[in-house]
Chains A and B, each alone.
Chain A
Amino acid sequence: MGKYILKRLVQIVITLFIFQTLLFVVLTAMPGDVTNRMFGNPDIPPEAIEQAKERLGLNDPILVQYARWWRNFATGDLGVSFSEYPKPVIDIIVERVPRTLTLFLTATLIQFTVGFTSGRVLAWQRGGLVEYGSTLVGVLLFTVFTPWFGLMMIFIFGARLRWLPLGKFLDPRIWSAAKIPGLADSASKGNFVFNRMLLTASIILILWLAILVLTRKLNSFQRRRILWGGTAGLLAVAGIVWALSGVGHLAWDIIVHMILPVITVTLVGYGGTMLLTRQTMLDTLREDYIQTARAKGVPEVMVRNKHAARNALLPVLTNLIIGIPFTLSGGIITETIFSWPGMGRTLLNATAAEDVPLIMGVFSFIGILSLLAHLVADLTYAFLDPRIRYA
């Protein structure tokens, strides 16, 4: 196993190298450079432009630039963003990544749970209206034009029914009135509250996993009771702590702003998961061990949930993990529609402003993330399916 991981890490480094090189080539192949914007300005003399080029190292041979870029990348120096000028790229990424991850991980978890549960039920309904209906709905959700779908969701739930806000991360009216000692503008207040929300969510998740592991030996009835009780208890404690903290209404504001984008991403992803689960379930149902289980009189529900679904879980889960970087990059659409200040929207703005360092930074981040996701997917596969042995 260790040898396999090592081999994969070497592969990852090679892939990352090709990816970054490709990125570098594409971005340097772009006609013109930063100084082009100064040409039209009569206040900037040509010498100053030349000087800026010299200072930015744009006159150096391309290989020198390439080597310098790798050196900076290796030391974690991604440069300074042009469009949000004095901010270093790394700070922007560190600020935006949690927002994107929260949005999409929440949506992914929900759509996976719902999609897998409904997919395995639908696989049982072969033929007839239910099958065709669910396939059509699944395909429509899977192929729906996401920007339009998002806008329709905003139109219905935000503009017509007025249940939810139209977009954005927080409501400035509430946030500018709120007082948090030491923090002046609502952006830093937002980060302050949001980071604590993330901390709470991680603690809940870890405790929940701990309950899951500790109750492993109990029978399923007791276990389910403890699990549900524990979940409710954890959520209640977290809710009380936040309500007493004085910034509870601010956290609630962020949650309210999250609901609509999460629902949209969930619905769009749900179709794919449901269809894939159904397909793999149908494949699994042909296996001999299903026949055996039925022949020896195991109840249908048990055959479905224990014998078939667990084996169908593998490809769905792998697909999900590999899909995380894609969801992140597909987030460019959702985040733009909902004005959610995450990585995708940052990338689109950077592209519009030709902010090369920021584009590079965001792409490198997505690249590394998706490589790691592939590794995790492979390892999960080996962990879940004992038949697979990596030598």
Chain B
Amino acid sequence: MSVTTATPTRIMEPLWRVRLRLAWRSFKTGWNIFRENPIGLIGLGMIAFFGLMALAHPLLIATVWPPNIYDPLMGYDKEIISHPSPPTWIPNAAAEIKSLRPLPALRHILGTDPLGRDVLSQLMSSTQSEFALGMMAALITVVVETTLGAVTAYYGGVIDMVFMRIADVMIMLPFIPLMIVLSAMFDFQMLHLALVYGILVGFGGNSLVIKSQALTLKVKAYIEAAKVAGGNDLHIIFTHLIPNLLPLAFLSMMITVTNAIFIEAVLSFFGLINIRMSWGIMIQITQAAGYLLTSWKYWYLMFPAGLSISFLCSAFYLVGRAMDAVVNPRLRKR
């Protein structure tokens, strides 16, 4: 007869559940700090609004918007004789719009552009590509900068020196001109832009910030403990160093998204990038067709795209600022 004791594994929760609970708890404290700042909430609301716009576009195309009229690139409204036409809901629409028959008020909520395409549909479909670009660029930047920051801080020496010189060059690169020259010479698409942008930024100033944080982490006791326990370098870097660098990396991610969207808009405004539709292209079309500097009458061509770029950029920036208070305890209100 032997006395059976409950095995420890039965009592203990599995490791992943502990980790999940810890993550949930730190998320909740973080969210509570974030929530104190209305500026971050405004930013989050704006991002959510644009996100909904991006999600709604394919649904609308599939249900109520026939693609031959509403396609952002190929659509054309044959019912209207002269384009651009103002929104269909304006009070004296019948007099303003030269159409074959009276149109329903919700047909073109933001009017049509000089080539007869629906402005709202263009605006919404561009939102998708801006989000895709921002996320891709930010993801690449985060991967590059955390890996680089952790590795250079951990090893130091020659590796550190080489990467710091590279970072020096990247910081002083005249960024916008460089992107303009590159995209003029090579056939840039969205993915290429995200890659080039992410790598240039990841190697540059951001990795310096991450590295300085990694240097302070490197001397912490738990890293020593991991070393004593026999963890090899890769294990320490990827399971102990990088997870603790991620909050900082996410902070810089917000700024990266802002800049990536801005750069894309500039490049497509100059007509240097090969994508279907974007806010920059919308402004370029309006300007090239000569409707930008004529009269307030064309407000539906002048404002939506330009304001969208500004608002989405500032939304990510505001969220970044509010997250700053979460990551950086020194900035919290006392």
Binding site for B on A (CB under 8 A): 11, 14-15, 18-19, 22, 26, 30-31, 132, 135-136, 139-140, 142-149, 151-152, 154-155, 158-160, 166, 282-283, 286, 325-326, 328-330, 332-333, 336, 344, 347-348, 351-352, 354, 359, 362-363, 366-367, 370-371, 374
B325: min CB distance to chain A, Å: 11
A385: min CB distance to chain B, Å: 19
Contact B174–A328 (Cβ < 8 Å): yes
29 A–B contacts from the bound complex (CB under 8 Å): A14-B165, A18-B166, A18-B169, A31-B185, A132-B38, A136-B39, A139-B318, A140-B314, A143-B262, A144-B310, A145-B310, A145-B313, A147-B265, A147-B266, A147-B269, A148-B269, A148-B306, A149-B310, A155-B292, A158-B293, A326-B175, A329-B174, A336-B270, A348-B270, A351-B180, A351-B181, A359-B181, A363-B174, A370-B172
Q: How far is the CA of A330 from the CA of B172 in the complex (A)?
A: 13
B175, B258, B293, B318, most chain A CB atoms within 10 A = B293
Q: Please name the residue on chain A nearest to B183 by beta carbon.
A: A351
Contact A151–B265 (Cβ < 8 Å): no
Which residues of the partner chain B approach A135 to less than 8 Å between Cβ atoms? 39, 321
Chain B residues 20 to 35 lying within 8 A of chain A, measured CB to CB, are none
A144: min CB distance to chain B, Å: 5
Q: Does B289 touch A at the CB level, under 8 Å?
A: no
Set B177, B180, B309: member contacting A148, Cβ < 8 A:
B309
Q: How far is the CA of A151 from the CA of B269 in the complex (A)?
A: 12
Contact B317–A325 (Cβ < 8 Å): no
Contact B169–A19 (Cβ < 8 Å): yes
Contact B39–A159 (Cβ < 8 Å): no
Q: How large is the interface on B (under 10, 10 to 19, 20 to 34, 35 or more residues)?
A: 35 or more
A200: min CB distance to chain B, Å: 30
Contact residues of A: prevailing secondary structure:
helix
Q: Does B184 touch A at the CB level, under 8 Å?
A: yes
Contact A367–B176 (Cβ < 8 Å): no
Contact B292–A363 (Cβ < 8 Å): no
Which residues of the partner chain B approach A132 to less than 8 Å between Cβ atoms? 38-39
Q: A325-B174, A326-B174, A366-B174 are in contact. Are A347 and B169 (CB under 8 A)?
A: no
A-B contact count (CB 8 A): 127
Contact A143–B310 (Cβ < 8 Å): yes
A254: min CB distance to chain B, Å: 22
Q: A139-B318, A359-B181 are in contact. Are A11 and B293 (CB under 8 A)?
A: no
Set B180, B181, B270, B306: member contacting A152, Cβ < 8 A:
B306
Which residues of the partner chain B approach A149 to less than 8 Å between Cβ atoms? 306, 310
Q: How far is the CA of A348 from the CA of B38 in the complex (A)?
A: 41
Q: How far is the CA of A147 from the CA of B264 in the complex (A)?
A: 12
Kindly list 16 other residue pairs between chains A and B, CB separation below 8 angstroms, not including A135-B321, A143-B258, A152-B302: A11-B168, A31-B185, A136-B42, A136-B314, A140-B314, A146-B266, A148-B306, A149-B310, A151-B293, A152-B306, A155-B292, A282-B331, A329-B174, A347-B180, A351-B181, A351-B184
Q: Please name the residue on chain A nearest to B296 by beta carbon.
A: A160
**What are the 5 A-B residue pairs with the smallest beta carbon separation, nearest first?**
A329-B174, A148-B306, A143-B313, A145-B309, A143-B314
A363: min CB distance to chain B, Å: 7
Contact B182–A26 (Cβ < 8 Å): yes
Contact B176–A330 (Cβ < 8 Å): yes
Contact B317–A142 (Cβ < 8 Å): yes
Contact A148–B185 (Cβ < 8 Å): no
Which residues of the partner chain B approach A148 to less than 8 Å between Cβ atoms? 269, 283, 305-306, 309-310
Which residues of the partner chain B approach A19 to less than 8 Å between Cβ atoms? 169, 172-173
Q: Please name the residue on chain B nearest to A18 by beta carbon.
A: B169
Q: How far is the CA of A267 from the CA of B279 in the complex (A)?
A: 22
Contact B176–A333 (Cβ < 8 Å): yes
Contact B313–A151 (Cβ < 8 Å): no
Set B258, B293, B330: member contacting A155, Cβ < 8 A:
B293
Q: Please name the residue on chain A nearest to B271 by beta carbon.
A: A352
Q: How far is the CA of A381 from the CA of B152 in the complex (A)?
A: 26
Contact A332–B177 (Cβ < 8 Å): yes
Which residues of the partner chain A approach B185 to less than 8 Å between Cβ atoms? 30-31, 351, 354
Set A18, A147, A352, A362: member contacting B165, Cβ < 8 A:
A18
Q: How far is the CA of A30 from the CA of B187 in the complex (A)?
A: 11
Q: Does B287 touch A at the CB level, under 8 Å?
A: yes
